[in-house]
Structure 1
Amino acid sequence: MTTIYDIAKLTGFSPTTVSKVFNGYSDVSEKTRRKILEAAQQLGYVPNAHARSLTTKRSWTIGVLFNESSGAGLLHPYFGGVIEGFKKVATSKGYDLMFITKDIGGKPSGYLEHCKIRGVDGIVVILPDYSDPYFHELVEADIPCVLLDSDLEHASTIYSDNIIGCELAVDYLYSLGHRSIAYIGGGHSFAGEKRMQGFKEAMQRHGLSICPEFIVQGSYDFTVESGRKAMGQLLQLADRPTAVFAAGDNLAVGAMIAMREQGLSVPEDISVIGFDDIEMAKYLTPALTTIRQNTYRLGSRAADMLIYSIEGHKELQRDLLPVELVIRDSCRPL
């Protein structure tokens, strides 16, 4: 049976250093950690999870909670990127992931109760549901917690700079000569509210009037179908916009479908710009101009923040990730 002493002998590191790697200590360099893990894999070493838990007083499990109303779940481009980034960091530090629900064994409970029963060391919440009292019970407890797409003052949070992203989109359309710009929103989620705010602020800064008929709110879940329906409303107007800014790429895809259904072309008839830069954006015809948010970075940074809290650091952390304009073919100058 392979032991940490075998790994120490193979790598040249001390048994203490090898033990620190498998117990998730942060004072080991990434190069050393990688060499030890490669040696462990070579020797077929499997750490004893129960013994490790007794030693470190941790379960080495992180809870993942997200509320996603479109039904796409992890297939949704946003969640796929976030979860992949989070998992990469968490597993490299020795943690397993567990998805948290309100029900355990078919019996209704709360998120906090679930976390306590499962003994998770911390939890990441993606798209918090502010209307859910069980969510507030969770974030007000003493369990380490990080929220994505939230700005609650009493919790650690991380999100993309939605406001600046929308300003970049409007500025770009303005530079192309567009003055009649419509907006397809993503409902009243955190990101939806911030992107609406950014759109309005940018329009006002350029001295552009915001026509009420040019603002159409999609559903909370930023779906393709929601974008198609919203664009259908805009196309019924006698005075159509020259450009449409969709607050999510799925909404933009739906908008492009609605235009095609009515025999219109992008960008010849109406320019379209999105937000997110999902994988399919560059493969559309025309390729979608959009605002890129780094969902993988959101997830990986959230994992770093959460593990930092699990390791005993009590101060709240806040991180705002930059976004960037990606110019492709779906917008044209007037």
Structure 2
Amino acid sequence: MTTIYDIAKRTGYSPTTVSKAFNNYSDVREKTRQEILRTAQEMGYLPNAHARTLTTKKSWTIGVLFVENTGAGIRHPFFSAVIESFKQVAVAKGYALMFISKDVGGKRSGYLENCRIRGVDGVVVFLSDYEDPYFRELLESDIPTVILDFETALSHTVCSDNMTGALQAVEYLVSLGHSRIAHISGGENTYPGKQRELGYRAAMEQQGLEVPEEYVAEGAFYSLENGYAAMKSLLELPQRPTAVFASGDLLALGAVMAAKDQGLSVPEDISVMGYDDIELAGYVTPALTTVRQNTELLGTRAAELLLASMNGPHTNQEALVLPVEIIVRDSCAPPGKR
């Protein structure tokens, strides 16, 4: 069986340096670490996880908090893409991911207790019931955390610039000549949904355009079905909008389906714009104009922030806001194009 001493002999580094490279010590140069890891892989070396835990006093495990009762589901293309990029960074640094809940051994407890029992080194939060006292208990503990798409002073946070994205979406639709612009919101249950609605309303005000209350239709949980239902209600209005900005791509795709079922053509009869730029957005007909969030960067920065917090001295909580961009495709056009 290959040992660290064999790897030390092959590479010319000391056993101590080899051990530090495996355990991500900051005083080992990245070039050295990569050389040692490459040699270890060539020699078929498998580090003993138990021994590594005893040596470093770490579990090498990151907890993942993703509460399914939001209705969004981990299968949503946005979340799955962000989780994948987060995982790639964490795994490259030697960490495994473990989903956590309030159920421990079949009994109801709390997130913090679960994390203590599992011995996780940190927690990444993708979705949660943010009003849950058990969630706040976790944030107030000494376990490092990073939260996606939320705002709090109790944790590191990473999100896209949701308000600016909504502002840009409305400005783009206005540039095409639209003035009757409706919004399918993500509902009051999510922080991004609230921010995007605020951005939509602010942009409409800046453009001097009215927002009849019936022009904001709720599409809770970012599902196709709710996008379909919201669009159907908008199309039944006496003065229907000429363009619809949806808070998520699945909502937008549901809206396109509803318009087609009503005998309308997108974008000739009504323009539809989404938010996220999920992979499917570029393959549907018409291809969806949308606000792109950089899912790879969101996951990568969240992982880097959490790893730095876990492996270094405690610092002030950071709130990273990442830029977005408009992706122009085929689902939007000037009003009355037909």
- Structure 2 length normalisation: TM-score? 0.95
Residues 80-99 of structure 1 show CA distances to partners (whole Å, capped at 9, x for unaligned) of 11111111111111111100
Q: Answer whether contact 1:157 1:318 (CA < 8 A) is retained.
A: yes
Residues 21-44 of structure 1 show CA distances to partners (whole Å, capped at 9, x for unaligned) of 211223444443333222212111
Tell me the distance in 1 between the aligned counterparts of 2:67 and 2:233.
28
Q: Answer whether contact 1:244 1:271 (CA < 8 A) is retained.
A: yes
Does 1:208 find its partner at 2:209?
yes
1:194 shift after superposition: 0.5
**1:110–1:329 Cα change, 3 Å:** same
Residues 241-283 of structure 1 show CA distances to partners (whole Å, capped at 9, x for unaligned) of 1100000000001000101111111100100100000010000
SS of structure 1 residue aligned to 2:74: helix
| Matched residue, 2:230 | 230
| Matched residue, 2:297 | 297
**1:329–1:92 Cα change, 3 Å:** same
Q: Answer whether contact 2:290 2:327 (CA < 8 A) is retained.
A: yes
| Matched residue, 2:171 | 171
| Matched residue, 2:334 | 333
Residues 109-144 of structure 1 show CA distances to partners (whole Å, capped at 9, x for unaligned) of 100000000111111111232221110111011111
Tell me the distance in 2 between the aligned counterparts of 1:53 and 1:280.
42
Q: Structure 1 stretch 110-119 or stretch 205-214: which is displaced more? A: 205-214
Q: Answer whether contact 1:128 1:150 (CA < 8 A) is retained.
A: no
Tell me the distance in 2 between the aligned counterparts of 1:242 and 1:29.
58
SS of structure 1 residue aligned to 2:113: helix
**1:27–1:251 Cα change, 3 Å:** farther
1:71 shift after superposition: 5.2
Tell me the distance in 2 between the aligned counterparts of 1:266 and 1:43.
58
CA RMSD of aligned residues (A): 1.4
**1:287–1:73 Cα change, 3 Å:** same
- Structure 1 length normalisation: TM-score? 0.96
1:45 shift after superposition: 0.6
Alignment gaps of 5+ in structure 2: none
**1:223–1:304 Cα change, 3 Å:** same
Alignment of 1:8-27 (within 5 A): 8-27=8-27
| Matched residue, 1:50 | 50
| Matched residue, 1:194 | 195
Amino acid aligned to 1:88: Q
Tell me the distance in 1 between the aligned counterparts of 2:75 and 2:28.
35
Alignment of 1:4-83 (within 5 A): 4-69=4-69, 73-83=73-83
Residues 139-197 of structure 1 show CA distances to partners (whole Å, capped at 9, x for unaligned) of 01111111111111121111110011001101100110111100000011100100011
Alignment of 1:106-255 (within 5 A): 106-188=106-188, 189-219=190-220, 221-255=221-255
Tell me the distance in 2 between the aligned counterparts of 1:72 and 1:167.
24
1:8 shift after superposition: 2.7
Amino acid aligned to 1:167: L
Tell me the distance in 1 between the aligned counterparts of 2:58 and 2:125.
20
Aligned residues: 333
Q: Structure 1 stretch 15-24 or stretch 248-257: which is displaced more? A: 15-24
1:72 shift after superposition: 6.1
Q: Structure 1 stretch 255-264 or stretch 36-45: which is displaced more? A: 36-45
Q: Answer whether contact 1:70 1:223 (CA < 8 A) is retained.
A: no
SS of structure 2 residue aligned to 1:16: helix
Tell me the distance in 2 between the aligned counterparts of 1:117 and 1:298.
29
Tell me the distance in 2 between the aligned counterparts of 1:185 and 1:18.
53
Amino acid aligned to 2:121: D
Amino acid aligned to 1:230: A
Amino acid aligned to 1:198: G
Q: Answer whether contact 1:128 1:147 (CA < 8 A) is retained.
A: no
**1:317–1:71 Cα change, 3 Å:** same
SS of structure 1 residue aligned to 2:42: helix
SS of structure 1 residue aligned to 2:222: coil
**1:291–1:211 Cα change, 3 Å:** same
Tell me the distance in 2 between the aligned counterparts of 1:280 and 1:185.
20
Report % sequence identity.
Answer: 60
SS of structure 1 residue aligned to 2:267: coil
